[in-house]
Amino acid sequence: MTATIDTSTEARPGSPVRLAGLRRGYGQVTALDGLDLDIAPGELVSLLGPSGCGKTTALRIVAGLEHSDAGAVFVDGQDITKVPANKRDMAMVFQSYSLFPNLTAGENVAFGLRLRGVSPAERRKRSGELLELVGLNQHYDRYATQMSGGQQQRVALARALAIEPKVLLLDEPLSALDAKVRVQLRDEIRGLQQRLGITTLFVTHDQEEALSMSDRVAVMNDGRLEQCASPDEVYTRPATPFVAAFVGAMNRIGGIASGTEVEILGQRLSVTQPPEVPAGSKVTALVRPESVLISPAVAGTVRVARSSFRGPVTRVTVELPDGTEVDSDLPSSAAVDLRPGALADIRFAPEPVMVIR
């Protein structure tokens, strides 16, 4: 049998993926509690959540490496729930470098092509092209042990792309890499994914990765989907207190509810969703550190507890009169005079905030 492999690296229409009511339990533990998710063709959706939230279980069920107790997976409208992993036409990049140690980089990339009956000459040509695509054409004859972690993950990505899968699955592929390589490879993966138009499901616990790479971010908690929206929406308009707390840093500041507004430290701010409490009730407002503005003031109402320099930004933590600590991310140039013990004024950016009881 000879399969025809498209040697171009131009975008092709990806396949739509639908997860419908996926459930999975391990004894008393529920890993997935009815997960519904639609992924559009060519879209990159990140499953983001803390350890044990079920994101990897969901990915493995899509890959066919694990079965679900209930629910179904659809690709191109076809129910593939019962289809074995090797017949799903998907490719996965694993967290641990999963290159076959007995094969060179080129042979690893050609592995899937060989299984599809591609001729040796075509395999060699195609695997060389893919290694070039990930910037490793000089490493064709190197074994996994002769390459760095970043190089191994690039080869693993090339190997996954070689079979032109309908869906690309990424299981925390960057988490074992050092910070610099991680950022570089993150951009490369996103660039390739967009260029090839391949539908991609990306599992990560790193919110920066999820926010910077995804078309949409699906935030999971306790086996359930909390919110699935664009990175901007997840960050600025979190649907649930969990999303608000998990994605980015968040201050919890006591306030008084007043219809569509909340009063915190004498300042009235509009709320994203009015809480179901009578006006005048005590509530908690969730405010991002970058929305908290601190300025030095001799007769200030708050005291600087500590400050932490983070390059362009300095995180200044102030203590409110009631003892609550509030974080503020300020441009480092504006934080010079905010030394621990100094008095300061606090204001909030006039943006809608989330309020919980």
Only segment of 153-161, 267-275, 308-316, 340-348 that touches another protein (CB under 8 A): 153-161
Which residue from 8, 145, 280, 311 is in contact with another protein, where contact means CB under 8 A? 145
Binding mask 156-195 for another protein (x = CB under 8 A): x--xx--x-----x--------------------------
Query: Count residues contacting another protein (CB under 8 A)?
Result: 31
Q: Is 134 in the site for another protein (CB under 8 A)?
A: no
Contact 310, 289 (CB under 8 A): no
Looking at 9, 74, 94, 222, which residue binds another protein (CB under 8 A)?
A: 94
Count CA atoms closer than 13 A to 291's CA, side-chain side.
Answer: 22
**Sheet strand arrangement including 354-356:** 267-270, 261-264, 251-258, 282-287, 354-356
Q: Which is nearer to another protein, 169 or 220 (CB)?
A: 169
Is 156:97 a contact under the CB 8 Å cutoff? yes
Asked whether 351 and 305 are in contact (CB, 8 A), the reply is no
Q: Which of 51, 87, 276, 323 binds another protein (CB under 8 A)?
A: 87
In the complex, least distance from residue 86 CB atom to another protein, rounded to whole angstroms: 5
Residue closer to another protein (CB basis): 101 or 321: 101
Give CA separation, 267 vs 15, 140, 158, 305, 356, in Å: 49, 63, 54, 22, 17
Among 9, 30, 81, 96, binds another protein (CB under 8 A): 96
- Which residues are paired to 216 by β-bridges? 45
- Under the binding rule (CB under 8 A), the answer on residue 146 touching another protein is yes
Binds another protein (CB under 8 A): choice among 4, 28, 86, 333:
86
Compute the least distance from the CB of residue 138 to another protein, in Å.
18
Please say whether the beta carbons of 350 and 268 come within 8 A. no
**H-helix or E-strand spanning residue 188:** helix 179-196
Query: Using an 8 Å Cβ cutoff, are 201 and 169 in contact?
Result: yes
Return the exposure string of 80-116: e unless at least 16 CB atoms fall within 10 Å of the residue's CB, then b. bbeeeeeebebbbbbbebbbeeebbbbbbbbbbbeee
Stretch that binds another protein, among 51-59, 72-80, 81-89, 283-291 (CB under 8 A): 81-89
357 alpha carbon, distance to own chain's centre: 28
Under rule CB under 8 A, residue 82 binds another protein? no
CB of 59 to another protein, least distance (A): 11
**74 sits near another protein (criterion: CB under 8 A):** no
Task: Identify the residue among 31, 90, 155, 257 touching another protein (CB under 8 A).
Answer: 90
Scored b (16 or more CB within 10 A) or e, 148-187 reads ebbbbbbbbbbbbbbbbbbbbbbbbbbebbeeebbeebbe
Q: Does 73 bind another protein (CB under 8 A)?
A: no
Is 75 a binding residue for another protein by CB under 8 A? The answer is no
Phi, psi of 19 (to 5 degrees): -105, 125
Nearer to another protein, 104 or 317 (CB): 104
Summarize as ranges the residues that interact with another protein (CB under 8 A).
63-65, 84-87, 89-92, 94, 96, 98, 100-103, 111-112, 115-116, 143-146, 156, 159-160, 163, 169
